[in-house]
Amino acid sequence: MMKRLVQGAIVLAALGGGVFWVLTRPSALPEETLAALTAHDADAARGEAVFWQGGCASCHTGPGVGFDALTEARLVLGGGREFATPFGTFYAPNISMDPQQGIGTWTLTEFATALTEGVSPEGEHYYPAFPYTTYTHATPGDVADLWAFWQTLPADPTPSRAHDVSFPFSMRRAVGMWKLLNFNTDFVRPVPTDPVESRGHYLVEALGHCGECHTPRDALGGLDRANWLAGAPNPVGQGRIPALPPQGWSAFDITAYLETGFTPEFDTAGGEMAGVIANTSRISAQDRAAIGAYLVTLRSSPSP
Amino acid sequence: MTSRFAALALAAAFAFPSLASAQEVDPNVHARQSLMDLYAYNLGVLGAMAQARMPYDADAASSAATSLYHLARSGSARMWPEGTDSMSIEGTRALPAIWDDMAGFGEDFMALQTATETMMNAAGTDLASLQGAMGPLGSACGGCHQSFRQPQ
């Protein structure tokens, strides 16, 4: 009797392990995405716009690069910034064009797989501190343009620093479980019919990754999509991140803030948002206006 | 016994209501925040003109910019004694990083002094000059708020 129980447990454990192994397997790009990527006539200038819309520099510039640094300094993606979270401390890796320390040897497919699937060329899951849950919504054209621009960026020899993450999050396969729960290729909100608002929706949900800080997270760090952009505790420190749109702000207020960093009360952006403004001040005025036009449609904001 | 103790505590709370509230508002924090309000009050005039929310008025712009210049030279160093950071007391968003990096904080403050001087010289000239000085001034504010102020 006992022996049969033990045997049964072993079979169940093996089955469970097998199911875990299959379920947490890193995914590859869908065929149609691959086809769209290679068919796209990539353009580095358009890619530069995507670079600022996606806010890559906020996390991947070196720790000493301030939000008011010159554009050239914000294009050096040597990594090293520290993000202390409840799950451990993440260090943004070197994603410069350095062939050894960075991603200089990557192919377009590897770049797109990292960005939109959260999977490395070695077939490992990335931690979702890298907002691929947002970037998965980016169009293949934008991804291909971005990669074209990326190849014009400088190499930086700084070695990436290993993340300091505790068990079970230290297991990369566990990220596969996390992805089953939280990696959703559907937009959170429906695409608006108005073309300007639709553009704003794309910038907010596919590139700008506003939701990563402005949406609360559950116990496992997954975004609480029911409270999308409703304001949240600061994910990397003390304090709160406000709801979007901020209480009483007009579309014009948001647009001006994204350009200058000045709130309607002429306070200024601080914390991580100062780095966000360093990106949004470099996107087109139309795109800033589109974000403003879209955000004000979200809700009459509850006070954060 | 317990209830008598509670009654005493309650009586004490009624007898000394100022004790609790006096601790809530540190005079340094109050002064800092009042100064920030005055910066914002004057920036509001310049920013509204820069963003075309109100018509350009050289006198009003010049007056606001001159106020900013003097506010940035109003002896505010005394307002930042040790122990008045967000981890030590309530009611402030001033991060402990200020006291860990006083040199960096000082540099950011010097940048504010420089930017207000540039604005004072530009604001009364014309709208384009005002707009040109607005970016550096915003950067000076933001530079400090990025490193040294907690989000809400």
Secondary structure (H, E, C), chain B: CHHHHHHHHHHHHHHCHHHHHHHHCCHHHHHHHHHHHHHHHHHHHHHHHHCCCCCCCHHHHHHHHHHHHHHCCCCHHHHCCCCCCCCCCCCCCECCHHHHCHHHHHHHHHHHHHHHHHHHHHHCCCHHHHHHHHHHHHHHHHHHHHHHECCC
Across A3-7, A31-35, B38-42, least confident range: A3-7
Q: Where are the alpha helices (DSSP H) in A103-216?
A: 108-117, 132-135, 140-150, 172-182, 195-202, 211-214
Tell me what ipTM this predicted complex has.
Answer: 0.75
Is B135 in Cβ contact with A67 (below 8 Å)? no
Is A239 in Cβ contact with B150 (below 8 Å)? yes
Number of CB atoms found within 10 A of residue B60's CB: 17
Query: Does residue B10 belong to any structural domain of this protein?
Result: no
In chain A, the residue whose alpha carbon lies closest to the alpha carbon of B145 is: A270
**Contact call for residues A33 and A139 (beta carbons, < 8 A):** no
- pLDDT value for B3: 54
User: What φ, ψ does residue A292 adopt, rounded to 5°?
Assistant: -60, -45
Distance (Å, whole) CA A273 – CA A209? 12
CATH number, residue B51: 1.20.120.10
**Nearest CA distance, B46 vs chain A (angstrom):** 10
For residue A91, which amino acid is it? Y
- pLDDT value for A272: 87
Is A242 in Cβ contact with B146 (below 8 Å)? no
- pLDDT value for A281: 94
Distance (Å, whole) CA A161 – CA A171? 17
Number of CB atoms found within 10 A of residue A284's CB: 11
Give bridge partners of residue A84 from the DSSP assignment: A89
pLDDT in tens, B88-130: 999 999 999 999 999 999 999 999 999 999 999 999 999 999 9
- pLDDT value for B17: 43
Residue in A74, A260, A279 to test binding to B, most B beta-carbons within 10 Å: A260
- pLDDT > 90: what percent of chain A? 77
Write the burial class of residue B74 (CB in 10 Å: 0-12 exposed, 13-18 middle, 19+ buried).
exposed
pLDDT band at A1 (very low <50, low <70, confident <90, very high): low
Contacts of B41 in chain A (CB under 8 A): 266
CB nearest to B141's CB, from A237, A242, A268: A268
Flag whether residue B143 sits within 8 Å of chain A, measured between CB atoms. Answer: yes
pLDDT in tens, A161-215: 999 998 878 888 889 999 999 999 999 999 999 999 999 999 999 999 999 999 9
Confidence (pTM): 0.85
Cα–Cα separations (whole angstroms), residue B1 to A138, B4, B5, B8, B15? 68, 5, 6, 11, 21
pLDDT band at A301 (very low <50, low <70, confident <90, very high): very low
| More confidently predicted of A304 and A153 | A153
Number of CB atoms found within 10 A of residue B116's CB: 26
Is B146 in Cβ contact with A274 (below 8 Å)? yes
Q: Please give the angle made by the CA atoms of A216, A220 and A224, to the nearest 5 degrees.
A: 30
Query: Does residue B8 belong to any structural domain of this protein?
Result: no
Question: Residue B142: which domain range?
Answer: 28-148
Tokens of B137: 């001034």
- pLDDT value for A303: 43
Task: With residue A275 as reference, give the H or E element that holds it.
Answer: helix A271-280
Distance (Å, whole) CA A225 – CA A228? 5
Is A256 in Cβ contact with B51 (below 8 Å)? yes
Is B152 in Cβ contact with A241 (below 8 Å)? yes
- pLDDT value for B117: 98
pLDDT in tens, A53-100: 999 999 999 998 988 889 999 999 999 999 998 889 999 999 999 999
**Contact call for residues A191 and A114 (beta carbons, < 8 A):** no
> Which residue carries 């007009």 as its tokens?
A250
- pLDDT value for B6: 52
**Contact call for residues A120 and A105 (beta carbons, < 8 A):** no
What is the rounded average pLDDT for all residues in chain A? 92
Through-space distance between the first and last CA atoms of chain A, rounded to whole angstroms: 60
pLDDT at B22 over 50: no
pLDDT in tens, A115-150: 999 999 999 999 999 999 999 999 999 999 999 999
Domain edges within chain A: 30-185
Q: How many CB pairs under 8 A join A and B?
A: 77
Closest CA to B126 of B43, B66, B56: B56
The residue-averaged pLDDT of B30-45 equals: 96
- pLDDT value for A26: 84
Query: Does residue B11 belong to any structural domain of this protein?
Result: no
Query: Does residue B17 belong to any structural domain of this protein?
Result: no
Distance (Å, whole) CA A9 – CA A6? 5
pLDDT at B1 over 70: no
Query: Does residue B111 belong to any structural domain of this protein?
Result: yes
Q: What are the DSSP E strand ranges found in A2-62?
A: none
Give bridge partners of residue A85 from the DSSP assignment: A88
DSSP-assigned states of every residue in A62-88: -TT--TTS-HHHHT------EEEETTE
Specify the pairing of strand A88-91 against strand A164-165: antiparallel
Strand order in the sheet with A164-165: A82-85, A88-91, A164-165
**Nearest CA distance, B108 vs chain A (angstrom):** 12
